[in-house]
Structure 1
Amino acid sequence: MTTDRVPACCGTDDTATGLSRRSLLVLTSGAVAGAAVVGLPGVAHAAPVIYNPFAGYPISSGWQDHRDHGSLGGIDFKMPVGTSLPACGAGTVTNIPDNGTGGHTVTIAHADGYKSQYLHLSAFLLANGTAVGSGAIVGRSGGAAGAPGSGSSTGPHCHWHMINPSGVRINPLDYVAQHPPGTGGLPKTTTETTGEPGPVFYTRMQNWLRITNGYTGPVNGVPGVNTYAALQRAMRGYGYTGPVNGVMGVNSWRAVQTLAADYGYTGPLNGVMGPNSWRGFARFINLDQWD
């Protein structure tokens, strides 16, 4: 299957009545199990799309501060122990326990030989080799002095640096500034306010999945089997362990709610998408890097 379509009647305007959960279940229940999925998770473009997932946290030690103290470079973001650490870009995860002074370290291998590393973790969450989309939670922050996994850290924080294809550490904030993730090409969805998904929402969702999880179908706001298969791949980082077949069920939607919980959703993780679930998901879909 090379197309990604659902019946034309199912498209609605984001400012009008959106797709209900019942409509979504009708759409997905008619999908063909085992349909071919084109593309691989984590495969991106020559310059990987990277964003700053820690913009809301203060910098306790900057790039030059590290260099001045003999470090190869990094940015320290002050945050409480146990804070969720989102992937700054799509890639494949490798965990390095007790990585010298860096303590527990998670590496995300991006496209074209780039890597990102988070240091001083208190917990790993994913198995080695897990392919993740941008924003997937890959670990928990640590850094408390003397705690397991803290390495040489003297206080709670997350250290972030990137490594270029030549193996040299680079400043991730410089990289983001030089390769801005947002293009301004797509409008924001009103689902964040209305709780009702429609074509603008699904167009942005398809563009996110195109950037991060191997979706190669049309970016047309009409989700089908290939769109939902890519969504299921993206949800691997949020606890989904079922088949990648483009048929969204309770477990698939429960993982979507888990993602939404990182963006303001506070309801039950029951796999039943309602307005509040959609609002949380839409806050993620409206991030600038999916424009």
Structure 2
Amino acid sequence: MTGRLTRRALLSGVGATTLAATGGILLPSNPAFAADFYNPFSGYPISDGWQAHIDRGSLGGIDYPMGVGTGVPACGSGTVRNIPYNGTGGHTVTIYHSNGYRTQYMHLSAFLIAEGAWVGAGAIVARSGGAAGAPGSGSSTGPHLHWHMIDPNGTRINPLVYLGGGGGGLPKTSTESDGIPGTIFWKRLQNWVRLDAGYTGPVDGVPGPNTYAAMQRYLAAHHGYGGPADGVPGPNTWAALQRLAAGWGYTGPIDGDPGPNTWRGVARFLNQNRFD
């Protein structure tokens, strides 16, 4: 018999499944790879790639077209440095990671994190910019985000290569097969609500009130949830999540008591490429 999965059980399950979950992830060969790194821009097209930057004399970078004011997530945890009017790069955020690598985002319209603050992977650190002539745009001629990394030797590197073979997104969750939500499942769920429901917390695989509140907002808009977005999931929240899962192969009751089949349906939804 499957009982309701409480918040306490969910959180304890995250820790208990970490080793099992990492056994199913194909990590890149780069020994400096940090486990919490991911590509936060996998859902955007690339307008100007690494080699194109090199060919015109740049030190390298990747450009993603996006509207001015779009939230810019940290690709990994670290300490923030804000650099206003950084030459041709305009407003720049640098994140100093514990392994000696740095991440830089350029052509920003706003800084959101205090200088010297520590952030987790997925935290929104700035707003994108790049409109020609706007404050902080630097040499940009149109709205976009420029992203590159710097290795411990000070050499600018392609973040997609660093992340492992080009994509660098989150791995698929094995919950689709085993029905047990673990760290990767919750990371993908956090990335879903980041993209679709205004979640601004870290993509760390540890769900908390902000994760659940964003999920409730989405379920209220699309799957009949009628309760408050208070970050405390109960039977009504889980019933709405079961209605979502019903569109992805779940055929069980809408009873607010999620079990393995509910989680399998939700995992099929979360395993869409756009949540990588």
TM-score by length of 1: 0.57
Task: Tell me the distance in 1 between the aligned counterparts of 2:180 and 2:78.
Answer: 26
Aligned counterpart for 1:107 among listed residues 81, 88, 94: 94
Identify the structure with bigger relative contact order (alpha carbons < 8 Å, sequence gap 6+). Answer: 1
C-alpha contact 1:88 1:135 (8 A) present in aligned 2 = yes
State the match for 2:122 in structure 1.
135
Task: Tell me the distance in 1 between the aligned counterparts of 2:135 and 2:216.
Answer: 27
> Residue 142 of structure 2 aligns to a residue in which SS?
coil
1:194-249 per-position Cα deviation (integer Å, ceiling 9, x unaligned): xxxx982245468x6xxxxxxxxxxxxxxxxxxxxxxxxxxx9639xxxxxx9x9x
Aligned counterpart for 2:230 among listed residues 247, 270, 283: 270
C-alpha contact 2:102 2:150 (8 A) present in aligned 1 = yes
CA RMSD, 1 decimal? 4.1
Residue identity matched to 1:187: S
Residue identity matched to 2:148: H
State the match for 2:211 in structure 1.
256
State the match for 1:24 in structure 2.
7
- The 3 A distance-change label for structure 1 pair 169 and 126 is same
State the match for 1:238 in structure 2.
201
Residue identity matched to 1:52: N
Q: How does 1:198-217 map to 2 (within 5 A)?
A: 200-204=180-184
- The 3 A distance-change label for structure 1 pair 124 and 170 is same
> Residue 164 of structure 2 aligns to a residue in which SS?
helix
> Residue 99 of structure 2 aligns to a residue in which SS?
helix
Residue identity matched to 2:112: L
Count of residue pairs the alignment pairs up: 208
> Residue 139 of structure 1 aligns to a residue in which SS?
strand
Report whether the alignment pairs 1:91 with 2:78.
yes
Task: Tell me the distance in 2 between the aligned counterparts of 1:261 and 1:139.
Answer: 25
State the match for 1:148 in structure 2.
135
Q: CA deviation at 1:181?
A: 6.8
Aligned counterpart for 1:120 among listed residues 89, 107, 110: 107
C-alpha contact 1:126 1:237 (8 A) present in aligned 2 = no
Report whether the alignment pairs 1:77 with 2:40.
no
- The 3 A distance-change label for structure 1 pair 271 and 76 is same
Report whether the alignment pairs 1:48 with 2:34.
yes
> Residue 135 of structure 2 aligns to a residue in which SS?
coil
1:142-189 per-position Cα deviation (integer Å, ceiling 9, x unaligned): 1001111111111000000000000110011121225967677x6135
Task: Tell me the distance in 2 between the aligned counterparts of 1:90 and 1:113.
Answer: 12
TM-score by length of 2: 0.60
Task: Tell me the distance in 2 between the aligned counterparts of 1:27 and 1:80.
Answer: 36
Q: CA deviation at 1:139?
A: 1.4
Aligned counterpart for 1:167 among listed residues 154, 157, 161: 154
Q: CA deviation at 1:118?
A: 0.7
Report whether the alignment pairs 1:57 with 2:57.
no
C-alpha contact 1:238 1:259 (8 A) present in aligned 2 = no
- Which segments of 5 or more consecutive residues in structure 2 lack a partner in the other structure? 12-30, 188-198, 222-227, 246-265
Q: CA deviation at 1:46?
A: 4.2
C-alpha contact 1:48 1:114 (8 A) present in aligned 2 = no
Identity of matched residues, % = 51
- The 3 A distance-change label for structure 1 pair 286 and 58 is closer
> Residue 144 of structure 1 aligns to a residue in which SS?
coil
